[in-house]
Amino acid sequence: MLQLSACRPWAVLLGVSAALGLAAPAARAQTNTPKYSNEFLNLGAGARSLGMGKTQVSLADDATAGYWNPAALTNIRTKYDGVLMHSELFSGVVKNDYAAFAMPLDEKSAIGVTLLRLGVDNIADTRALVNEYGYIQYDRITYFSVADYALLLSYARKLGPEGLSVGGSGKLIYRNVGSYANAYGFGVDVGVQYNHKGWRLGLMARDITTTFNAWSIDADKFKANTIPGEAIPTNTTEITLPRLVLGAGRQFTLPAQFTALVAADLEATTDGQRNTLISAKPVSVDPRVGVEIGYRNLAFLRGGVGNYQKITTFDMSQQWKGQYSLGAGVAFSGLRVDLALSRLAVEKLGSTSQTNSLIVSLGYGLGSRQGGLPSIR
């Protein structure tokens, strides 16, 4: 049987990164690809990760691995693991819900299922409020919802060198704008994770095949109440280009039964120049850092920072401003309760809009199994 050398995991990580770096420009040349396509899939999952600034590619060890890095599903230490999360954005207008389940198949492989929904419900359509006689008719108001859904089916397996795992997720996407439009899409994510001498390394490639959404528009619905001269949308296909996330983490033992888990991620997007610390037309890179302080593996405090953007000040000069997050959690007898306070967006200086979001997630692991990594929380 062919055996991989000790340095081979590094070659795997670098090889995948190089291949994706070459694939993205080719995909962009073949089609018109908008920025921030399927952005609802990049909001994050699990209060633990959001409290640490989304630094989870190298750390995930529960059912959230199906979202952050499917290769990490092999780290699960229980026979079954599940996570539920709910958050409300923009003062409760936008609802964000997440559910995941994972289980090992044997000592070397595991599977996971993830469901996500981001939506705004009960939107009032007042375009027909005024009738043909010029009078207001409130019974002509209709209501609809705008929502994005995703289903991820994940598989992971351990490979040759100890600590090396690979995994992948096939994702089905459904996006809906009331009865006016909907879209169906499909994409693939792949991940690699390598754990060696206390270091945890991970590489996640989202939308590695480029993810497509095929939009179907009901033009008659739009024509019924359009303003003269208003353009009618048409059927179209939306393409999401690959996104790479490279992460590293390590846990340190502190006095009095405390521990410190430190992690950093580099997220590279290929859909054009963005307002990030490292910004270029082909690739923009957003660095993130997170830390988790634990006590006896029962109670945790967390913090993270990332999403640094250049903001214009009152005197028209520019300065960098980041997105900060805080979190806390407890774990007891398989049950995990995590809270996070995360700022949804980087605001302009002096802005008073409320973009803070409180995220709550519950996790539960049932039964123990041999294998998996030592607990880091």
Q: From residue 245, how far is each of 23, 41, 102, 266 by CA, in Å?
A: 16, 14, 22, 6
The pTM for the full model equals 0.83
Give the distance from CA 270 to its chain's centroid.
16
pLDDT at 355: 57
List the one residue out of 111, 140, 112 whose CA is nearest residue 127.
Answer: 140
pLDDT at 268: 93
Q: Confidence class of residue 9 from pLDDT cuts 50, 70 and 90?
A: very low
Residue 10 scores a pLDDT above 70: no
For 325-346, how does the pLDDT look when each residue is reduced to its tens digit (9 = 90+)? 999 999 988 899 999 987 655 4
Looking at every residue in the chain, the average pLDDT score rounds to: 83
pLDDT at 377: 59
Across 78-96, average pLDDT? 88
For 217-245, how does the pLDDT look when each residue is reduced to its tens digit (9 = 90+)? 888 877 766 667 777 778 888 999 999 99
Helix residue ranges per DSSP H, 46-130: 47-51, 65-68
For 92-131, how does the pLDDT look when each residue is reduced to its tens digit (9 = 90+)? 888 999 999 999 999 999 999 999 999 999 988 887 888 8
Indicate the residue type of 141: I
Residue 15 scores a pLDDT above 50: no
Using DSSP, state whether 178 is helix, strand or coil: coil
pLDDT at 117: 96
- CATH superfamily membership of 8-366: monomeric porin ompg (2.40.160.40)
Q: Which residues contact 56 (CB under 8 A, 6 or more apart)?
A: 46, 48, 49, 64, 68, 69, 247, 263, 265
| Domain boundaries defined on the chain | 8-366
Percent of the chain topping pLDDT 90: 51
Q: What is the DSSP letter of 231?
A: P
For 348-374, how does the pLDDT look when each residue is reduced to its tens digit (9 = 90+)? 545 544 456 778 888 888 876 555 555
Percent of the chain topping pLDDT 70: 84
Let me know the angle formed at the C-alpha of 116 by 114 and 121, rounded to the nearest 5 degrees.
160
